[in-house]
Amino acid sequence: MAEEKNKAAGANGATALTPEQEIEKLKADLASAQADSAKKDAALEASKKIIGEQAEALATKEVQLASKNPVVMVDKTHYEFLGKGNIIIDGKSIPAKEVMENQGYLKQLIKIGSGLIKEAKVKKGGK
């Protein structure tokens, strides 16, 4: 009979847990597993964001390879930038390179329908 008590206590000689202790242990295990799951979910979301950014960069590269002009992205749409030298925007002369790097200027050119920027049309595979 003493042997059965030892088996119930476990192979390493620890005392058996009461049902309340077992419930608390299981709750702690669950909380730990949920914390691990939350960390993995956060890592997964971060990975998805990086993949999305890389996919956009790849798409931009494909458009650039197919275009003879510089390519800019405005609101997830690729545009060929045809401006050279200085460009007059709101009465100010701005270097084309600065216009290409400024989303505000690019959006303004799109809004007014400027011929200096046109949507890039690329077939699948960059051709």
SS3 83: coil
Percentage of the chain modeled with pLDDT above 70: 84
Please tell me the predicted confidence (pLDDT) of residue 77.
Answer: 86
Q: How confident is the model over 52-80, as pLDDT tens digits?
A: 989 888 887 888 887 888 888 888 888 88
Please tell me the predicted confidence (pLDDT) of residue 40.
Answer: 95
Dump the DSSP string for 18-82. PHHHHHHHHHHHHHHHHHHHHHHHHHHHHHHHHHHHHHHHHHHHHHHHH-SS-EEEETTEEEEE-
Q: Is 94 within 8 Å of 84 (Cβ atoms)?
A: no
Q: For residue 70, give both structure tokens.
A: 């510089």
Q: How confident is the model over 101-123, as pLDDT tens digits?
A: 889 999 999 998 888 888 887 65
> 125: pLDDT confidence band, cut at 50, 70 and 90?
very low
Distance of CA 88 to the CA centre of its chain: 35
| CA–CA gap between residue 14 and residue 7 (Å, rounded) | 10
Domain ranges of the chain: 17-126
